[in-house]
Amino acid sequence: MFRVINSDCVDLSGNKYPFGEITRFQNISKCELCICGTDSEWICDHYVSCKSLDCKSSNSAVGECCAEMHCGGITKFMILGFGIFAIILYIAFILIIMLIFSILHWRKTSKKADNSDTPDTNLGEETKKQNLELDEDISESNKEPVRYLFAPKDPN
């Protein structure tokens, strides 16, 4: 056999554990954890709170208990929530900037259109004359009778 140090604990299979080691024996719940005490005795307790466990430890028994009680997952959700919130803020910022630029562009183009409507040269009078000539051409074309490719049959 092997030499057991006074502060070591031995499980039913003969495995030794150092002082302060936390383990879970088979056939008990995941949060029924045992700690190796100073007198080489196992001190077992059923953990029902995340506060009494160090979920960041590398011990697999503690990790399983933390997973069963959903401990430590809060920080993951907080990071995920903060990331989503940051992305939403970023998208909102981009949309606000796009809205501002589109409003400024619309105001700039609407001012140009308003200024071009005012006739300040003879060009405006020439345009009016052309429009009158077009109106006369259209009214003359309406005087001609409508000719059908296929004439309707006479009902008589």
pLDDT at 86: 96
Highest mean pLDDT among 69-73, 74-78, 129-133: 69-73
The residue segments making up the domain with residue 91 are 73-109
What CA–CA distance (Å, rounded) separates 73 from 129?
A: 80
What is the count of structural domains for the chain? Answer: 2
Contacts of residue 1, defined as CB under 8 A and 6 or more positions apart, other chains included, come to: none
Domain assignment present for residue 39? The answer is yes
Whether the predicted model's global pTM rises above the 0.75 cut = no
Q: Which of 67-72's residues contact partners 24+ apart within 8 Å by CB, and which partners?
A: 67/30, 68/30, 68/31, 69/31
Same domain, 55 and 32: yes
Looking at every residue in the chain, the average pLDDT score rounds to: 75
Same domain? 34 vs 85:
no
Give the residue-averaged pLDDT of 13-37.
82
Q: What is the pLDDT of residues 81-117, one digit of tens each?
A: 899 999 999 999 999 999 999 999 988 888 755 555 5
DSSP H helical ranges for 14-150:
60-68, 73-116, 123-141
Same domain (yes/no): 49, 80 = no
Q: Does the pLDDT at position 54 exceed 90?
A: no
Q: How many CB atoms lie within 10 A of CB 65?
A: 24
> In 3-state terms, what secondary structure has residue 83?
helix
